[in-house]
Amino acid sequence: MVSTRDDDRGQLLLVAAIVVAAAVLGGVVLLNTVHSSPDLSSQTDAQSVINTDRTVDQIENDLRGLFMANAVDENGIRLPYANSRFEAAVDAYNNEYTRLISTNQSAVATVELNASESIDGAVAYANQSSAEFVDDGNEFVVTDADELPRLRIRLDDVSDDLRVRINDSDPLGTPADDIEFEVSDSGGITGDIQCSGADDAPIEIDLVHGAGEVTGDGAYCTVAVEESDWDLDEYNVKFEYGTATNGTYAVSGEDGGPALIDCADPCETGLVNPVFDLTYQNPNVVFSSTFTLYERDDR
Amino acid sequence: MKRNSRILDDDTRAVSIAITHALTVAITTVLVSGLLISSGTLLKSQEERVGNQQLSEIGSDIVSYIHEFDRLNGTGTEVTATVQPNYPDRIVGSYVYSIELYDDGTVEVRSNRLGQSADFEIDTETDIQGGTVTGGNVEINLCDSPQRITLGGCD
């Protein structure tokens, strides 16, 4: 056996071991210093933009409801126009919404009616579903409108056909120049908008600038008049129907065309297409927009 | 037995302190060098991987903002929006980077010192106006008159 007497070689081994240990520890420290997570703190920021989107969407939906809730006729039918109380209603909504939104997040939203950009006009409507569709037979319900922001028809009886003709001349030009669609209990809706399943009453047609939806008894269609067709200098709306055609309608037309808008009685005048200024701000996002309630869609 | 032990105690043949020291130093040097070289390689590859992932994450985040702004632009007219994401000034702790948005709808996040970049193609309804920002000072804008999406402000 090798003697360990007078043996000092262990000192060198110890020094070597310390050097190795120091190198390992240094490497660990270096790794920790240089190591960097690939994950960045972008989650909160992304959420703030999504919140903006959601808030704006919510405000716009609320304004649609507020507009329709503001004007109701004597039979409780909501009409697409606003009276002088609407601006006060928007102010009240603005105050309430700001209070509501600031309770659970660092954000502020403001909504203002832009009176100078908002568009006045008239709404022709029928409010008795049991009565004949329009009192005085086939006639224009709206003439000389600059735009038709909303056209809503509800049919409670389609045993006689109803033809809706929209033309830029009064009297109507050739049928080929019309925007025209027909509702019947045999073929549903045909013509410039189509929904073959809508052949059983009640049938509801709701168009905003020529695009919208049709709902019937067991039928639902999204519909749109061709954008190039829905581009008239002025809009004149005529219903052609038989004596058994019953229902209600509301057709709003914007002023601003070559002649003053005229509509069949009953008719209300007021704000038919309001414009709002929206702003929303949170720590990361500043957003503002001008929102037109019935805007022509980029179809 | 006792006699044999005594013989070995006195036996110094094939024992050299100098050789022992030299061998120890040599082995230690080899071990430490190997450790340092492998650490350097590991760090380098990790740096590249993390740098690439951070560039990709920043780029994809910016793309999602641009798409979100494109959607917001459809909610009204004269829509303006600004977001200032909290991205780090540098990636992997020490490398500056820049973000470039091209008119054709390409987003490039690049670090010249790291020698890496991440490209993203975007397709938006809203027009894109080119712009460049540096890391830590990122601002994404939806501007009006005309409606467009850009980086670094609407001017």
Helices and strands, number each (H, E), in chain B: 2, 10
CA dihedral B67, B71, B73, B75 (to 10 degrees): -170
A59 CA: distance to closest CA in chain B (Å): 11
B71 touching A (Cβ < 8 Å): yes
Interface predicted TM-score of the whole assembly (ipTM), two decimals: 0.72
Residue B76: list chain A partners with CB under 8 A.
Answer: 60, 278, 289-292, 295
| Cα atoms in the 13 Å half-sphere on the side-chain side of A110 | 9
Nearest Cβ partner of B61 from A46, A50, A53?
A46
A28 half-sphere exposure, CB direction, 13 A CA radius:
6
* C-alpha distance from B23 to closest chain A C-alpha (Å): 11
pLDDT of residue B111 exceeding 50, the answer is: yes
Coil, strand, or helix at residue A59?
A: helix
Residues 6+ apart with CB under 8 A from A61: none
Is this prediction's pTM over 0.90? no
Interface of B with A in 94-123 (CB under 8 A): none
Rg (CA), chain A: 34
| Mean pLDDT confidence for B124-149 | 92
- Put simply, the answer to whether A23 touches B32 (Cβ < 8 Å) is yes
Cα gap A195→A221, rounded to integer Å: 6
Distance CA A241, CA A223 (A): 22
Contact (CB, 8 A) for B58 and B110:
no
Tell me if B17 and A292 make a contact (CB, 8 A cut-off).
no
pLDDT computed for residue B14 by the predictor: 65
pLDDT of residue A1: 45
Q: Of the candidates A250, A234, A228, which has an alpha carbon nearest to the alpha carbon of residue A147?
A: A234
Q: What is the pLDDT of residue B37?
A: 87
- What 3-state DSSP class applies to A190? strand
With 80 as the cut, is the pLDDT of residue B138 above it? Answer: yes
Average confidence (pLDDT) per 10 residues, chain A, 299 residues: 55 77 79 63 68 89 90 78 88 91 85 92 82 67 90 87 83 70 89 89 91 90 89 87 82 83 86 94 90 75
Closest residue in chain B to residue A53, using alpha carbons only: B72
pLDDT, residue A120, reads 92
pLDDT at A63: 94
Domain ranges of chain A: 43-115+274-292, 119-272
For residue B64, what is the nearest residue in chain A, using CA coordinates?
A46
Phi-psi region of A218 (alpha: psi -120 to 50; beta: other; left: phi over 0): left
Out of 3.40.50, 3.40.1000, 2.60.120, 3.40.210, select the CATH number for domain A119-272. 2.60.120
Cα distance from A183 to chain B (closest Cα, Å)?
Answer: 33
Flag whether residue B4 sits within 8 Å of chain A, measured between CB atoms: no
3-state secondary structure of B137: coil
pLDDT tens, B43-75? 888 888 888 888 998 999 899 999 999 988 988
Nearest to A181 by CA among A155, A217, A202: A155
How many residue contacts between A and B have a Cβ separation below 8 Å? Answer: 131
Cis ω on the peptide bond leading into residue B146 (within 30° of 0)? yes
pLDDT at position A126: 84
Residues contacting residue B109 through CB under 8 Å, at least 6 positions apart? B55, B56, B58, B59, B62, B97, B98, B99, B100, B117, B118
Query: DSSP letter string over A255-291?
Result: S-SSS--EEPSSEEEEEEE-EEEEEEE-SSEEEEEEE
- On chain B, the residues whose CB falls within 8 A of the CB of A287 are 72, 79-82
Pick from A289, A261, A265: nearest CA to A120: A261
CA torsion, points A51, B77, B132, B85, in degrees to nearest 10?
-10
- Report, in angstroms and rounded to the nearest whole number, the Rg of chain B calculated over CA atoms: 31
Question: How far is the C-alpha of B107 from the C-alpha of B119, rounded, in Å?
Answer: 6
- Confidence (pLDDT) at A195: 92
In the predicted structure, residue B81 carries a pLDDT above the cut 90: yes
